[in-house]
Amino acid sequence: MIRALVDRLLTSPRTPELLASTVAINVLALGSSLYSIHLLNRYVTIGLAPTLITLTLGVLLAIGFEVLLRKQRQNVLTSLIQEADTDASNRVFSAFSTTRYEPLLQIPLAERREALGAPATMQQLTSITNLAAILDLPYALMFALGAMLLYWPLGLFGVLACGLALLLGFLSEREQRGAAEDYAKANSRAQQLGQFLLTAGEAVRCLPLIGPLSRRWGEAQDGSLGSRRTSMNLQALLQQSIQNVGQLLSVVVYAVGAMAVVRGDFTTGGLIGANILVSRAFAVCSRAAYLADPLLRAGRADAALRKVEVTEAASTAGVTPARFEGHLSVSDVSFSYPQQPVPLFESLNIDLPPHQVLVLTGPNGSGKSTLIKLMLGLLSPGRGLIRADGIELRQISQGWWRSQIGYAPQDAVFFDGTLRENLLLDRDIADETVLELIREIGLESFLASDPAGLDRPIASHETGLATGLRRRFVLLRAVLGDARVVFLDDPTEGLDQAGQAAVAKLLNRLLTEKRTLVIASNEGFILRAADVVVDMSKKPVPSVVRPNRTPPEAGVTP
């Protein structure tokens, strides 16, 4: 992100304008020191009034131009910052929506949160003041050189003080590293608990949760606030040290300069002018030294984001078959989650020809959802291959595969938007088709309960929408469109009789439409519709049977 901003700064068509205004601003800043030198050196020979009028007009003109140029530089920087902000936010969205899921899960949650917050972190670094401080930094040398030309020891003190300020900034950054790491971890825990308090309000109030929750909350807050405090103390120390160096610089400049004036080696005007120049140089350096903290945080966020992005290349490559019949096969597949001592299953072989129904059955935790995620390509098998129409899933383009599958996950998730947006996603489907399906699964009275109809808002954290309704809408979403393979994870979970009848209707529709179906369920009526049943309770090798399926024309009934 930082490199992208630097590249943008270097390659933007407005860069020459930016650099030219920076040069002019800093050259004009010399005006006040020239003013002091000339005023104090000339009024004796030329007279106070004419000197004062000429020089004051001159310096006011210089200040006026400087203000205009700063404003103009601010405009250029604002547009560059806006472009960099958009870049950063697009990168985050793309990293979290298109990277492969499994490697993403391997990245610790705290780091994923840092990557997600990268645009905000970057914004703290790329304020106009901070960028101006970076642009002005080389001119600190110009100010110090100016002072050197007046009386070299004073310029040298300026250079040394600048170096010291930058060194203090560098040392502070190194000290901050540990605190920043602790903060990221503790802050992630605090955010997670905050999320729980936000979304589990009912459980928090009705279960005896307050004790364990408040203990964890206290620990997380202590950790997060404590490491933030450490970091703020370090920043305060840096600020104090820089102030002290500044005071010392002023004393040394006046002491050495005054001695030179007394000896007749230097003028009073020159001394005041040199002091202004040295102070300017030091001010520029100290502003740059304060960038240590935002630079460190932006660097960490950038590194975390790049870690997430690394997996992206693999997901965008891959073949896009011209046709897809809907044939799935699982060959000698084994899988275990990291840190799991024994495989969840192994040596699994399934052949699912197009238009057939595979039902995964077994008790809770037996691996039904996991096998679905493997067949979706979200997880990769430890051993063996999963193929779609004979092509290994890992070789297929993720984008293409996404367009071929429908998926109703076990968690009925929605995003903040209208019901229509949540059902249609980015597919072009006519309202009539949606309404027909809504009627088919008995949701028309729910739809009619709000005059907004399909445009009724539905929130990601919606608790007002009954569980059974949420599930039915999620199933509807998976079925809409023309996905060749539809995956339904526990489609009847939380459904009443009417809901089960709705699922049966949807299944009948899918069978008639000749889609390939993969369903995780222990429901009898769904098992009766299966061409292939995989019993995940058999360990370590699940049993695969081809039962005598109820003929499709007989339909699926609960």
Ligand X SMILES: Nc1ncnc2c1ncn2[C@@H]1O[C@H](COP(=O)(O)OP(=O)(O)OP(=O)(O)O)[C@@H](O)[C@H]1O
Q: Mark 109-138 with x for binding to ligand X (rule: CB under 6 A) and - for no binding.
A: ------------------------------
Which CB atom, from 514 or from 538, has the smaller least distance to ligand X?
Answer: 538
String of contacts with ligand X for each residue 408-427, x by CB under 6 A: --x-----------------
What's the min distance (Å) between Cβ of 378 and ligand X?
10
Q: How far is it, in rounded angstroms, from Cα 282 to Cα 243?
A: 10
Min separation Cβ 337 and ligand X, Å: 3
Q: Does 365 bind ligand X (CB under 6 A)?
A: yes
Shortest distance (Å) from residue 478 CB to ligand X: 17
Give buried/exposed letters for 361-398 (b at 16+ CB in 10 A, else e).
bbeeebbbbbbbbbbbbbbbbeebebbbbebebeebeb
Does 169 engage in binding with ligand X (CB under 6 A)?
no
Q: What are the contacts of 313-317 at 24+ separation with CB within 8 A?
A: 314/100, 315/98, 315/99, 315/100, 315/398, 316/98, 316/397, 316/398, 316/399, 317/397
Q: ω before 540 within 30° of 0 (cis)?
A: yes
3-state secondary structure 509-524: HHHHCCCEEEEECCCH
- Residue 269 or 491: the one with the smaller Cβ distance to ligand X is 491
Number of H helices, E strands in the chain: 22, 12
Give the residue ranges of DSSP H helices in 99-127: 101-106, 109-116, 118-125
Question: 400 — alpha (psi -120 to 50), left (phi > 0) or beta?
Answer: alpha
The H or E element containing residue 300 is: helix 292-309
Other C-beta atoms within 10 Å of 156: how many? 15
Q: Which is nearer to ligand X, 127 or 543 (CB)?
A: 543
Question: Residue 167 CB, nearest distance to ligand X (Å)?
Answer: 46
Cα 506–chain centre separation: 38
Looking at the Cβ atoms of 233 and 537, the one nearer to ligand X is: 537
| CA–CA gap between residue 41 and residue 38 (Å, rounded) | 5
176 binds ligand X (CB under 6 A): no
Using CB under 6 A, pick the residue from 257, 326, 343, 362 that binds ligand X. Answer: 362
On the 0-12 / 13-18 / 19+ scale of CB atoms within 10 A, 7 is exposed
Report the Cα–Cα distance between both ends of the chain, in Å, rounded. 55
Q: Which stretch binds ligand X (CB under 6 A): 207-215, 225-233, 365-373, 507-515?
A: 365-373
Q: Which is nearer to ligand X, 101 or 217 (CB)?
A: 101
Taking the complex as a whole, how short is the minimal distance between the CB of residue 137 and ligand X, in angstroms?
A: 47
Residue among 542 and 558 whose Cβ is closer to ligand X: 542
Q: Judged by CB under 6 A, which of 77, 92, 165, 344 binds ligand X?
A: 344
Judged by CB under 6 A, the residue of 364, 449, 497, 548 near ligand X is 364
Binding piece for ligand X, criterion CB under 6 A, among 86-94, 138-146, 190-198, 363-371: 363-371
Residues in 481-510 at the binding interface with ligand X, rule: CB under 6 A:
490
Q: Considering beta carbons, is residue 231 or 370 the nearer one to ligand X?
A: 370
Q: Compose the 195-234 pattern: x for residues touching ligand X by CB under 6 A, - for all others.
A: ----------------------------------------
Q: How far apart are CA 535 and CA 204, in angstroms?
A: 37
Q: Which residues bind ligand X (CB under 6 A)?
A: 337, 344, 362, 364-370, 410, 490, 520
